[in-house]
């Protein structure tokens, strides 16, 4: 139930300078560096605002916002409009005026809202929910409108990242996958990335180097190369019989009766999307250009078309050595912070992995 500010001492070690005990467990936080304002969401649905002194040795309470009726899951602060925007387990997004502390409006979803990204220029909010859906909203002073909904994950949305420069939205989910949604030029284009063994807990896109950093609950850290022309994974085709050998699937009663054969189980080739039987898809292969860093099912003909160089990984994988529950990147310095379920906070120097010095704009530590 505490919020702490850690300062790096001359010895190189971090020590807490101040801490504040909250009335309810903390569930989300947003820090605005320029104004040194901190917004802390709690399990009871309230958001508390604090102001940090210049020397980071004092924390002054500002006000409490009655944001939600249940746990706050994500917070963002917009200085230009003086809004604090949040999502919660009460299935809504709310935005409040930080000058008056009053509620401006709420919008409700069918599932509890799990994560949030906000475009400060256009006032577009992206909200991921427990059903696996992402809703794009246009927020106004006392109203909002639903622009579209994005459906592609098979599990709850756990993390979102919005890049306003290229207008790309990245989403991580409990189905262990990441999807890149091209909101800008090529509308509707999606790229699937599969390289984690557990739910994706946090993502960060580094626009300067075209790299995506993702962390999962099993401690895996992946750095994806997005500065290449990747292929979209195909839509899975539906058929009553194998599209290679034409043998019927087990629900195709008529063809089974006509041919006096037993029906087969349906599978799908991850490369071409065709519906195939097990006999026509005996091979497995990775195919990184399509986002498959692990070996996945492909039909035998597609397996023959994949060359050895096509299997070259387009991501690097690292071990966080604790079950990562949250991650934050300081892109300007190439530093990453991970928080684990083991209650340990780790600070990583990511410059060897994501670039360094003049090539990326990172300054030395």
What is the domain-level CATH number for residue 275?
Answer: 3.30.40.10
Same domain? For 140 and 273 the reply is: no
Residue 363 inside a domain? The answer is no
Instruction: Pick 89 or 254 by higher pLDDT.
Output: 89
Same domain? For 50 and 160 the reply is: yes
pLDDT at 358: 36
Residue 210 inside a domain? The answer is yes
Q: What is the pTM of this model?
A: 0.87
pLDDT at 187: 60
Full domain range(s) for residue 122: 2-229+315-354
Answer yes or no: is pLDDT of 209 > 80: yes
Same domain? For 88 and 189 the reply is: yes
pLDDT tens, position by position, 272-293: 999 999 899 999 999 999 999 9
Answer yes or no: is pLDDT of 185 > 70: no
Same domain? For 90 and 180 the reply is: yes
- How high is the mean pLDDT of the chain? 89
Residue 103 inside a domain? The answer is yes
Residue 248 inside a domain? The answer is no
Same domain? For 122 and 259 the reply is: no
Q: What is the CATH number of the domain that holds 337?
A: 2.130.10.10
Same domain? For 221 and 350 the reply is: yes
Report the alpha-carbon distance of residue 59 to residue 19 in Å, rounded. Answer: 8
Same domain? For 127 and 172 the reply is: yes
pLDDT at 170: 96
Q: If pLDDT is split at 50, 70 and 90, which confidence band does 265 have?
A: confident
Instruction: Pick 263 or 106 by higher pLDDT.
Output: 106
Answer yes or no: is pLDDT of 364 > 60: no
Same domain? For 322 and 223 the reply is: yes
Residue 336 inside a domain? The answer is yes
Q: Mean pLDDT throughout 1-24?
A: 88
pLDDT at 73: 95
Residue 215 inside a domain? The answer is yes
Same domain? For 320 and 295 the reply is: no
Same domain? For 168 and 224 the reply is: yes
Same domain? For 165 and 289 the reply is: no
pLDDT at 271: 93
Residue 128 inside a domain? The answer is yes
Answer yes or no: is pLDDT of 357 > 50: no
pLDDT tens, position by position, 50-61: 999 998 889 999
Q: Which of 67-76, 195-204, 240-249 has the lowest mean pLDDT?
A: 240-249
State the total domains in the chain: 2
Same domain? For 133 and 180 the reply is: yes
pLDDT tens, position by position, 328-356: 998 888 899 999 888 899 999 888 888 64
pLDDT at 296: 92
pLDDT tens, position by position, 85-131: 999 999 999 999 999 989 999 999 999 999 999 999 999 999 999 99
pLDDT tens, position by position, 305-325: 999 888 998 999 999 889 999
Residue 244 inside a domain? The answer is no
Q: If pLDDT is split at 50, 70 and 90, which confidence band does 186 have?
A: low
């Amino acid at each position: 139930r505490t919020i702490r500010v850690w300062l790096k001492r001359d010895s190189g070690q971090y020590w807490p300078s101040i801490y504040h005990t909250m009335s309810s467990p903390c569930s989300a936080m947003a820090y605005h560096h320029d104004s040194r304002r901190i917004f802390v969401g709690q399990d009871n649905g309230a958001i508390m605002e604090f102001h940090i002194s210049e020397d980071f040795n004092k924390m002054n309470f500002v006000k409490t916002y009655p944001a939600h009726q249940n746990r706050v899951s994500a917070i963002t602060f917009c200085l230009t409009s003086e809004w604090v925007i949040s999502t919660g387990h009460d299935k809504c997004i709310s935005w409040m005026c930080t000058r008056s502390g009053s509620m401006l409006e709420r919008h409700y979803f069918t599932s509890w809202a799990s994560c949030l990204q906000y475009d400060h220029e256009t006032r577009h909010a992206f909200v991921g929910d427990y059903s696996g859906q992402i809703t794009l909203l246009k927020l106004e002073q006392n109203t909002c409108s639903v622009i579209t909904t994005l459906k592609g994950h098979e599990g709850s949305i756990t993390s979102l990242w919005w890049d306003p420069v290229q207008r790309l939205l990245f989403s991580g989910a409990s189905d262990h996958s990441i999807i890149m949604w091209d909101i800008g030029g090529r509308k509707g284009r999606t790229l699937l990335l599969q390289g984690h063994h557990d739910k994706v807990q946090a993502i960060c896109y580094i626009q300067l180097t075209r790299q995506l950093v993702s962390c999962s609950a099993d401690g895996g850290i992946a750095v994806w190369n997005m500065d290449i022309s990747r292929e979209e994974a195909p839509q899975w085709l539906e058929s009553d019989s194998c599209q290679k050998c034409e043998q019927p699937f087990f629900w195709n009663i008529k063809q089974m009766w006509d041919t006096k054969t037993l029906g087969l189980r349906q599978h799908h080739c991850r490369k071409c999307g065709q519906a195939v039987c097990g006999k026509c898809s005996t091979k497995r292969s990775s195919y990184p250009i399509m986002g498959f860093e692990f070996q996945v099912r492909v039909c035998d003909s597609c397996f023959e078309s994949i060359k050895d160089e096509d299997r070259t990984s387009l991501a690097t994988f690292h071990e966080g050595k604790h079950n990562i529950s949250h991650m934050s990147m300081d892109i300007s310095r190439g530093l990453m912070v991970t928080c684990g379920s083991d209650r340990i906070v780790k600070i990583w120097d990511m410059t060897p992995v994501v670039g360094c010095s003049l090539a990326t704009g990172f300054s030395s530590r």
